[in-house]
Homo-oligomer: A and B are copies of this chain.
C-alpha cells in the first residue's frame, strides 16, 4: 500500500533543508566542534537578566504561552515608538517569513530577491508555489536598483532585502531604502529583513512611518539578544498587514520561556551595549586573523565577517571543509562571486583563537596538497 498522495505544491517540492545544522555536522564527523562560528549565533550569550527570567519561567511551562505575547508586545511598542497594532510577534524571523509568504503569495506569483541572499526565505517562497527571480549582488551588496527594476519587470508581489546583509555583512544607508520604496511597483511589498540591525550604525536604519503600507520589517531576538534557540522575533508594518497574520498564525505557537526571556532581554539595554562592543572587537579580531593569513575582511555591520579568500568558490569550499575537519565550524556564501569568501561569526576571544590557530595550519596543508 502506498501513502495518500501529497497536495500538488508539496508534491513538487524536494525534501530539503536550507542549512545543515552544526549538530548534524558534528554527528557526521563523530566529535563536537571546538569553535562554533558558522551560524551567526551570538556566543556572548543572552543578558543575565534574560537568563534569570527564562529560568524563572521554566516551572510555569505547564501553561501555554500568552497567545498575544502581550507584555512583550507592549514593551516593543514603547521600544519602537509605535502602536502595538503595528507589531506581530512570532516564532523567529524564519517562522514569520513563512507566514508572510503564505499571506501574500499564491502559486505562480513573482518574488524578487538577490542571488545568494537568505536561503530560508527562498525555501518558503518555493514552499508556497511562488516564482523566485534573483538579481546578482553588486560590489558585495544587495543591488537596490536592480531589485526594484526586476520587481517592475516581473510584477513582483514581494521583494526581499536584508539590511544589514547576510551573508556579506554589507549595508545600505537608510535613505537608499527609503528611496527604494518609491521605486517599487504598485502592489509590491518590500520585506526588509533587519535581523542584524542592532549591530548597524544609526544611518543604516531607514526612517519609515509605522503605517507605511509598502514595507514589512522583521527583527529577531536570535542575534544581538543572543536567543537563537528560543525562536522569537517580530514583524512591523501597517496594522491591516499585521492583522493579516491573525488569519493564519499559530496563536499559541510562541514558547512561554522565550516570551519571558525576550522581554527581559529587550529591557536590558546595558547588556545590548556590552554585546555590541564585544561584537565590534570580535570583528576586528577576525579581520586581523584574515590579514595574518593573506586574506581580507569585508566591512561588516553584523555579528559576522565575510573574509575574502582572494581565490574562488572551490577554494573557499575546500577551506570550509578542512576547517570543519579540524573542529572549526564556519559557513560560506552559496553563489559566485560571493563564494570567494568564507563567513565567520563573531564569538568570544577563546573561540576566535581556535580559528587563528587552525587557519594557517589548514592553509599550509592546502598549499602543500596543491603543490
Which residues in A have some Cβ–Cβ distance to B below 8 Å?
1-10, 13-24, 27, 36, 39, 41-46, 51, 54-55, 57-68, 70, 91-92, 94-95, 98, 102-106, 109, 127-128, 157, 187-189, 212-214, 222, 226-231, 237-238, 240-241, 243-244, 246-248, 250-258, 261
Contact = CB atoms under 8 A, between A and B. Distances in A.
A51 B46 contact: no
Contact of A255 (B60, B66, B255): B255
Contacts of A57: 229
28 contacts: A3-B241, A4-B214, A5-B187, A6-B103, A6-B104, A7-B104, A10-B247, A13-B247, A15-B244, A19-B67, A19-B252, A21-B66, A23-B67, A24-B68, A41-B64, A55-B55, A62-B227, A63-B229, A64-B228, A64-B229, A92-B253, A94-B250, A95-B250, A127-B247, A229-B255, A230-B255, A255-B255, A255-B257
B23 A66 contact: yes
Contact of A67 (B3, B5, B21): B21
Contact of A61 (B13, B66, B227): B227
A94 B44 CA distance: 33
A336 to B, nearest CB: 26
Contact of A62 (B7, B189, B228): B228
Contact of A102 (B7, B20, B68): B7
This chain: how many copies in the complex?
2
Nearest to A60: B229
Contacts of A15: 243-244, 246-247
B187 A64 contact: no
A226 to B, nearest CB: 4
Contacts of A64: 21, 39, 41, 222, 228-229
A166 to B, nearest CB: 14
Tell which of A60, A189, A241, A252 has the most Cβ of chain B within 10 Å: A252
B46 A62 contact: yes
Contacts of A39: 63-64
A3 B240 contact: yes
A28 to B, nearest CB: 11
A183 to B, nearest CB: 15
Contacts of A244: 6, 10, 15
